[in-house]
Amino acid sequence: MKTAFVSYRFSEEIEPIALMIKNWFKVHELMVIDGKQLDATNSLNEQLKNRISNADILVSIRADETTSIYVAEEAAFAAGKGKPIIIVSKGAYSEGSLLNDQFYIDLDRGFDAANDLSNAVVKILEKGYLDLNAKKVKHPPKDEVDAEGWSLEIREKIRVVRVLMDEREIDKALESAMTLLNDHPECWRAGIAISACLIIKQDYKQAEQILNDVIDNFSGSGRAVSYAYQNMAWLYFEKHKEVDSEINQKLIGFYRDSIEAYPRIDIFFDLIMTYLDADLVGEADKVIVEALQEFPEIEQKVSEMVSSEGSSFVQLVTKSNLLSAIAFPKEPRGDK
């Protein structure tokens, strides 16, 4: 994985901007490092020089009126090493000839700045600085969010929420998702993200209200409704913990509603496991057959999960002869 060194003044004003930049690089699969937790008594100590030297790109944040001498020295050192540099500022930025051949991002351009950052990285790739396949950055494999046709602004905001949740920054993720929904009420994924944060925070009542709103307001979007019912099942499971036959039937209903709205492999799998947990093996086998017709790749998913999950998962799988045959295929016997 390639590395971006983010250089900035450690202040309350700059930290949120630095976090936004770091999150952008993380969702685009670049490792991020900075100069934190190093000896601050020396501007360019050997540890810091090593970090910059080992990085593939330096991002220099100049978003306030005072540019730290450390930040300026780090950019100069990177330039001397021939590193590509991206200057991030608010408004037009001017520096001496040392950095004239580098890239400049104006945060005052709003979410166009994210597009500018993407273009800068692509140009760096095209110049061969990072020795990566430029096609990978220009044409990344479409995940579900990309395939749904959201604008660049919305996609970037969704990805920031994802990164925050992955890093267990749930309060920040919730705030970002709520801002996204407020700015773009057409974005049902914001509602799904809000519900997920609330479930993690055990605010089940509010999460249920959000999910019902998604189901009501986006009834014309099968994907939106499918994700809402999936999270409704998650909410119900987390809320009750002790699973009995009544709760299992409730979960089955949510998963069935999710599949009816928009079939997805994960929901088929959740439904199969719930049937097996309730000892409804015949019903599980029916869903397995249905899932195989819709998603043949479920065989590979089962095999992977058998390898990664614990014994309790294997015990569920072995309840079904059909699922066991998929999970533990027998080697063909050769002729004697």
SS (H, E, C) 270-335: HHHHHHHHCCCHHHHHHHHHHHHHHCCCHHHHHHHHHHHCCHHHHHHHCCCHHHHHHHCCCCCCCC
Which residue in 239, 245, 183 sits closest to 211, CA to CA?
239
Q: How confident is the model at residue 98 (pLDDT cuts 50, 70, 90)?
A: very low
Are residue 269 and residue 258 in the same domain, yes or no? no
Last residue of some domain: 116, 140, 164? 140
Q: Classify residue 66: in a domain, yes or no.
A: yes
The predicted model gives 21-30 an average pLDDT of 78
Q: Classify residue 335: in a domain, yes or no.
A: no
CATH code assigned at 12: 3.40.50.450
The pLDDT of residue 311 is 73
The predicted model gives 40-51 an average pLDDT of 72
Q: Classify residue 336: in a domain, yes or no.
A: no
Are residue 163 and residue 247 in the same domain, yes or no? yes
Maximum separation of any 2 CA atoms in the chain, in Å: 83
Are residue 27 and residue 102 in the same domain, yes or no? yes
Are residue 214 and residue 257 in the same domain, yes or no? yes
Are residue 47 and residue 103 in the same domain, yes or no? yes
The tens digit of pLDDT for each residue in 202-238 reads: 999 999 999 999 999 988 888 899 999 999 999 998 8
The residue ranking higher by pLDDT, 30 or 210, is 210
Are residue 19 and residue 125 in the same domain, yes or no? yes
Last residue of some domain: 246, 262, 278? 262
Are residue 100 and residue 195 in the same domain, yes or no? no
Last residue of some domain: 262, 297, 316? 262
Are residue 172 and residue 90 in the same domain, yes or no? no
The pLDDT of residue 300 is 78
Are residue 124 and residue 164 in the same domain, yes or no? no
Are residue 81 and residue 128 in the same domain, yes or no? yes
The residue ranking higher by pLDDT, 249 or 336, is 249
Lowest mean pLDDT among 62-66, 70-74, 78-82, 205-209: 62-66
Number of structural domains, the chain? 3
The tens digit of pLDDT for each residue in 99-154 reads: 544 788 887 776 567 667 777 777 776 555 554 333 332 223 345 676 677 887 88
What range defines the domain where residue 281 resides? 265-329
318 forms bridges with which residues in the sheet? none
Buried b (16+ CB within 10 A) or exposed e, 163-189: bbbeeebbebbbebbbebbeebeebbb
The pLDDT of residue 147 is 67
Q: Classify residue 67: in a domain, yes or no.
A: yes
Are residue 111 and residue 151 in the same domain, yes or no? no
CATH code assigned at 247: 1.25.40.10
The pLDDT of residue 225 is 93
Q: How confident is the model at residue 310 (pLDDT cuts 50, 70, 90)?
A: low
Q: Classify residue 334: in a domain, yes or no.
A: no
The tens digit of pLDDT for each residue in 232-290 reads: 999 998 888 776 788 889 999 999 999 999 888 889 989 998 998 888 999 989 998 88
Are residue 129 and residue 16 in the same domain, yes or no? yes
The tens digit of pLDDT for each residue in 141-191 reads: 345 676 677 887 888 888 888 888 877 888 988 999 999 999 999 999 999
The pLDDT of residue 93 is 56
Q: Classify residue 278: in a domain, yes or no.
A: yes
